[in-house]
Structure 1
Amino acid sequence: MDDLRAKYLSRIDAATDEATLEDTRLAAIGKKGEVSLAMRELGRMTPEERQEAGPRLNALKDEITSAIAARKAALEDAALEERLSREWLDVTLPARGAPDPGRGTIHPVSQVWEEITAIFGDMGFAVAEGPQVESDWYNFDALNIPAHHPARQEHDTFYMSRAAGDDRPPHVLRTHTSPVQIRTMEAQGAPLRVICPGRTFRADYDQTHTPMFHQVEGLALDRDISMAHLKWVLEQFFTAFFGTEVRTRFRASHFPFTEPSAEVDIQCSFEGGTVKVGEGDGWLEVLGSGMVHPKVLRAGGIDPEQWQGFAFGMGIDRLAMLKYGIPDLRAFFDSDLRWLRHYGFGALQVPTLRAGV
């Protein structure tokens, strides 16, 4: 039996194709195979001999059967590997005769979003996010926006419906990303340095306004932050974003959530219907900013006697229009493939940012 085991296991191991493997199986455990014939001899043995030889023969048959199955699987795997290497096909190629669909592009909003995140990331700002459907408190009350403010009217804000009999203030599609500042203050406390990019919604539609648009707001809180820090941060950002030194001009304004408040203009020139940032004697208003109002700090769980800071907000879509010469904001959301191919960016195109920020 030991001779049979060694004989057939070696032949199984040496088999190079399934035909040879089948011949080996028939020779060993087929109807006229050596192991099968040996098992027929059990009837001529004494009970004591059968008790000893029977289990050994069954174990030998099982071992040969398992070895054949394992070798067959190995041969099939090898044949598949050889076939795959011979019949390799790039499944990413278009079908023969099919029109070239072209490559997709990165939307200008997505590109500028990444540029803004990278620049402020270099200045130590983290990214904070929040829900697009907000409560009336987070969107208005916590930001010191009074009930009579025009922004709270239905002609400017999208309100969600409430069930009949539900007297709670309705939720809104957030009109700015400032609610994220409140949520972040509640969650993290001070000191704090974040930007809050995201979608916002207002009932407006023309060449420079759409019902859905993108904003990025910034918030920095510490013990000795001033408007001077705000001016430096914004000038460093615009210089990196536009790739040229950009001066800013602050004009006194009023926003419910900041005090003092300022609208910020950037230096530019107007030539041939285009805007060139960083040169000339003209000024273009691009954002609102100011020192965070004490009531807003308290709404976020921050003690205004211990902490202070600045906040600012600007439109991502408008920055994209300025940097890449896009004349109409509405085209951003038309899904026109021609427009997307013209203004879009390659998937591997890394934003070019001015060094030294």
Structure 2
Amino acid sequence: MSGPNSDYDPVEVAALQPEAVDAARDAALAAIRSAADLEQLKQVRADHAGDRSPLALANREIGALPPQARKEAGQRVGKARGEVSRALAERQEVLQAEHEARILVEETVDVTLPTDRLPVGARHPITTAAELIADIFVAMGWEVAEGPLIEAEWLNFDALNMGPDHPARTMQDTFWTSPGGDADIDDVHGAGTGVVLRTQTSPVQARTMLTQQPPIYIVAPGRVFRTDEYDATHSPMFHQVEGLAVDEGISMAHLKGTLDHFAAQMFGEGVTTRFRPSYFPFTEPSAEVDLLCFVCKGTGTTDGQACRTCRGEGWIEWGGCGVVNPRVLVACGIDPERYTGFAFGMGIDRTLMFRHGISDLRALFEGDVRFTSAFGSEL
């Protein structure tokens, strides 16, 4: 029995000769070093490391060798291809860094140059403030109510328990668009039938009670008009938000809780309200609403000095409120023996000034786009 034959006939494959492999490797390395940019390196990769490159073709010829010669040839070709791959990766990293540095220089934008694009618009802060307030009460289950800007004298005054001699009905406080009619017409409601620019949003409350039976929970933001001087803290046209709740068992406690929630939503957690006894003809009892200073948190001082926002008092006057006067309920056709309610009102403009530190009321009305643009689309 004969033993294994360890002899073989050598097969000459030119591409696998050491000289040929070294030459292909050196040519590839030289091409990689000479690539000036990423595009050239991409072509070098295809020529010297692609499927049709000399080293790739040599690798395919290994199978033509006798088994005993394949190991040495495979190691030789694999080593050469590895050197080419490492060189490609290193050159890629260098050229990529150079490319990014060049882009930063060539594509630099001067952000200080004027632009010819249309400026981004902005909503008026009073509009967004009114919508924010409405959203707060809608989230509590209330409804938003609206009414006309030109209002009947009876709805603006008489239905709200403001008699004919009330000082608010004089020309000093009210814009009259039409004076009251003759005595016979006046006697229909026992009061005048003139027409005014509404001095408050309270007529919206009266209109709601005349057309809707309790339970009633409404908030009424809108424009109002009074004959005030136009200065840093007054305007003949401004904005109010009023709320009305009429239901069985309504008390001052419900009013206090509602306003505390409103204050916290507008000015931040921990901001509450306090009541000071006051008088309003449409509520009884009535109170002035003070807001805990959201800057000094009621201490009256900031950084060791008197707080500028509340002037050292710790509280800021915010609006008025009270339990709905039974006479108002009767005038609007609601049984005061069964139902009670509360009402409140405060200026949207003043609330906005508090919230954003606006010192001059006139900035809200003069239409300067630089002012409104600072607020953007949301408060």
* TM-score normalised by the chain length of structure 1: 0.65
How many Å apart are 1:244 and its aligned residue?
2.3
Relative to structure 1, the CA distance from residue 190 to residue 159 in structure 2 (aligned partners, 3 Å threshold; closer, same or farther) is same
Structure 2 residue 125 is matched with structure 1 residue 108: yes
Give CA-to-partner distance per residue, 1:161-196, whole Å, 9 cap, x none. Answer: 369989864200000000000100111111110001
Give CA-to-partner distance per residue, 1:321-344, whole Å, 9 cap, x none. Answer: 1111111111111011222222x2
Q: How does 1:284-323 map onto structure 2 within 5 Å?
A: 284-323=316-355
How many Å apart are 1:345 and its aligned residue?
2.0
Q: Name the SS of the counterpart of 1:239 in structure 2.
A: helix
Q: How does 1:183-332 map onto structure 2 within 5 Å?
A: 183-204=207-228, 205-268=230-293, 269=296, 271=302, 274-275=308-309, 282-332=314-364
In the TM superposition, structure 1's runs of 4+ consecutive aligned residues that sit over 6 Å from their partners are 163-168
Structure 2 residue 152 is matched with structure 1 residue 121: no
Find the aligned partners of 2:129 and 2:326 in 1 and give their Cα distance. Answer: 32
Give CA-to-partner distance per residue, 1:205-244, whole Å, 9 cap, x none. Answer: 2222111111110001111010001000000111011122
* 2:180–2:194 contact (8 Å) kept in structure 1: no
- The one-letter code matched in structure 2 to 1:226 is S
Calculate percent identity across the aligned residue pairs: 52
Q: Name the SS of the counterpart of 1:112 in structure 2.
A: helix
Structure 2 unaligned segments of length 5 or more: list them: 1-113, 187-192
Find the aligned partners of 1:297 and 1:238 in 2 and give their Cα distance. Answer: 27
Relative to structure 1, the CA distance from residue 172 to residue 281 in structure 2 (aligned partners, 3 Å threshold; closer, same or farther) is closer
- The one-letter code matched in structure 2 to 1:212 is M
Relative to structure 1, the CA distance from residue 247 to residue 165 in structure 2 (aligned partners, 3 Å threshold; closer, same or farther) is closer
Q: Name the SS of the counterpart of 2:132 in structure 1.
A: helix
Find the aligned partners of 1:161 and 1:188 in 2 and give their Cα distance. Answer: 28
Q: Name the SS of the counterpart of 1:208 in structure 2.
A: coil
Structure 1 unaligned segments of length 5 or more: list them: 1-96, 352-357
How many Å apart are 1:254 and its aligned residue?
0.2
* 1:139–1:179 contact (8 Å) kept in structure 2: yes
Find the aligned partners of 1:276 and 1:157 in 2 and give their Cα distance. Answer: 30
**Which protein has the larger Cα radius of gyration, Structure 1 or Structure 2?**
2
* TM-score normalised by the chain length of structure 2: 0.62
- The one-letter code matched in structure 2 to 1:230 is L
Relative to structure 1, the CA distance from residue 173 to residue 281 in structure 2 (aligned partners, 3 Å threshold; closer, same or farther) is closer
Find the aligned partners of 1:308 and 1:229 in 2 and give their Cα distance. Answer: 11
Residue 194 of structure 2: aligned partner: 170
Structure 2 residue 370 is matched with structure 1 residue 345: no
How many Å apart are 1:273 and its aligned residue?
6.7
How many Å apart are 1:101 and its aligned residue?
3.0
How many Å apart are 1:251 and its aligned residue?
0.5
Q: Name the SS of the counterpart of 2:278 in structure 1.
A: strand
The number of aligned residues is 249
- The one-letter code matched in structure 2 to 1:151 is A
- The one-letter code matched in structure 2 to 1:275 is T
Q: Name the SS of the counterpart of 2:178 in structure 1.
A: coil
* 1:254–1:260 contact (8 Å) kept in structure 2: yes
Q: Name the SS of the counterpart of 2:309 in structure 1.
A: strand
Structure having greater relative contact order (Cα 8 Å, sep ≥ 6): 1
- RMSD over aligned Cα atoms: 2.4
Relative to structure 1, the CA distance from residue 301 to residue 239 in structure 2 (aligned partners, 3 Å threshold; closer, same or farther) is same
Find the aligned partners of 2:213 and 2:353 in 1 and give their Cα distance. Answer: 35
Find the aligned partners of 1:187 and 1:113 in 2 and give their Cα distance. Answer: 24
Residue 47 of structure 2: aligned partner: none
- The one-letter code matched in structure 1 to 2:219 is I
Find the aligned partners of 1:290 and 1:124 in 2 and give their Cα distance. Answer: 21
* 2:153–2:194 contact (8 Å) kept in structure 1: yes
Find the aligned partners of 2:307 and 2:343 in 1 and give their Cα distance. Answer: 32
